[in-house]
Homo-oligomer: A and B are copies of this chain.
Amino acid sequence: MMMGGEVPRIIINLKLYRESSGPRAVELARHAEEVSSETGISLGIAPALLDAWRVAEAVEVPVYVQHADPVPAGPHTGHVSPSLLGDYGFSGALLNHSERRMLLADIGRAVRMLEGEGLQSIVCAGGPGEALAAASLGPTAVAFEPPELIGTGVSVSRARPEAVGEAVRLVRGARPDVAVLCGAGVSSGEDVRRAIELGADGVLVASAVAKSSRPREKMMELAAGAAAAVGR
């Protein structure tokens, strides 16, 4: 169950690749907007911190910062505050990505701060048990991503379908109001279709799009996979 359609089917994490930074991040976001509009499948984008504002200005699709710290606006050099994100037009934040792990206590505080601002929180988790723990904190979504598959091009929905199913089952059982994404190695439309058929609401994808020589086509393929699964 998607939360009122709020969390996109496909969130593209641009990470910190040179190929998806700066003006290129804006360009990729525009592709996402077009593909979303053309296919009816919702896409979101998570640009690098330095690119996020420009991207949010340029497009209407949901934009997420890649990380937020549980601090209010104030004397916090080098941090990102949930309290300020709404002013930039962001939809929310990724939290606890495997490349930016957070303290349990900080995740909980950031989730509550984002919720207080009416923003989405997408908490990444490396295993089914962690996904359940993340869901217990009441975020908008959990993104189940086994770290060992991230960046491999071997999709979690193909390599570990039973783990995806378990993560979905655990989260649904405990917190039916929390959406479930899955990620790690997602690189084809087929990967997206399988993920949704395994019960996920959508996927988190990165290098397959961010480093693609034909990113728009890749987004179209991923959206078609989602459409096949949801019957659009």
Contacts and interface: CB of A to CB of B under 8 A. Distances in A.
Nearest to A96: B104
A207 B75 contact: yes
Interface in A128-154: 129-130, 132-138, 150-151
Interface residues of A, number: 64
Contacts of A13: 77
Interface string A157-174: 000000000000000001
A51 interface: yes
B50 A16 contact: no
Total copies of this chain within the assembly: 4
> Which of A51, A65, A67, A77 is the most central at the interface, judged by chain B CB atoms within 10 Å of its CB?
A77
8 contacts: A15-B76, A16-B75, A16-B80, A17-B73, A21-B84, A50-B88, A101-B106, A135-B136
A206 B76 CA distance: 11
Contact of A108 (B65, B129, B137): B129
A229 interface: no
Closest 6 CB pairs of A and B: A67-B78, A78-B100, A133-B136, A18-B73, A66-B78, A77-B97
A101 B102 CA distance: 10
A126 interface: yes
Interface string A13-45: 101111001100000000000000000000000
Given A53-B51, A99-B78, A108-B130, A71 B138 contact: no
Interface string A177-207: 0000000000000000000000000000011
A17 B74 contact: yes
Contact of A53 (B50, B78, B94, B96): B50
